[in-house]
Amino acid sequence: MSAPVPLSPEEEAVMRALGRFLLVIPRALDADLMREQRMSASEYAVLRHLSETPGHLMRMSELAMACDMSLSGMTRLAAKLESLGYLHRIRCKEDARGANAVLTDKGMARLREAWPTHLASVRRHIFDHLDDLDLKQLAAAFTAMATDP
C-alpha cells in the first residue's frame, strides 16, 4: 500500500473552509429562524419534510432519519409540534408498533409563514456567495460526496 498523497495548499484550504462552513451555516440558519420566527431549524425541517411527502405523512423513524435526528429526539420534537397543532401522530397501519407523523393545515400554514425568512437566510448565507460558480456542477459534486461510502 502506497503512502497517502498530502493535500495541496488549495485542497487544504477547501477542507478548512468546508469544516468551518459545516459548523457556521447551520447555526446561522437556525439563528435567523429563531430570531424572526421563534422556530428552530429542526422544527422547520420537520414541517418541510412532511410538506413534501404524499399525504403529508411520514413514518417517525424515516422523519428522524431525514432530519438527521435520533428517534428519541424526533419523538420529543414531534410532541412539541403536536402540542402546537402543527402535526398529529397516528399508528402506522402496516406496523402497529410504529407511528406516523401527519402535517396539519395549521402546520402547513406555519411552514408557509416561516418560509420567506428561511429563504432569505439561505440566499444571504449561501447563494449570495456563489455568483461565479456552476451550481449544477456544485450540486453534482455534493451529491457524489454524500453518496460515496
Mean pLDDT over the full length of the chain: 95
Q: Compute how many other C-beta atoms are within 10 angstroms of the C-beta atom of residue 131.
A: 6
Q: What is the domain partition of the chain in residue ranges? A: 11-127
Mean pLDDT of the region 34-42: 98
How far are the Cα atoms of 20, 73, 106 from residue 36, in angstroms, in the given order?
A: 24, 24, 19
50-104 pLDDT, tens digit per residue, is 999 999 999 999 999 999 999 999 999 999 999 999 999 999 887 778 899 999 9
pTM value is 0.89
Share of the chain above pLDDT 90, in %: 92
Q: Does the 11-127 domain belong in CATH 1.10.10.10?
A: yes
Q: End-to-end distance of the chain based on CA atoms, in angstroms? A: 20
Mean pLDDT of the region 10-15: 97
d(CA 46, CA 80): 11
Q: What is the pLDDT of residue 149?
A: 65
How far are the Cα atoms of 71, 124, 142 from residue 132, in angstroms, in the given order?
A: 40, 15, 17
d(CA 70, CA 93): 22
Q: What is the pLDDT of residue 33?
A: 98
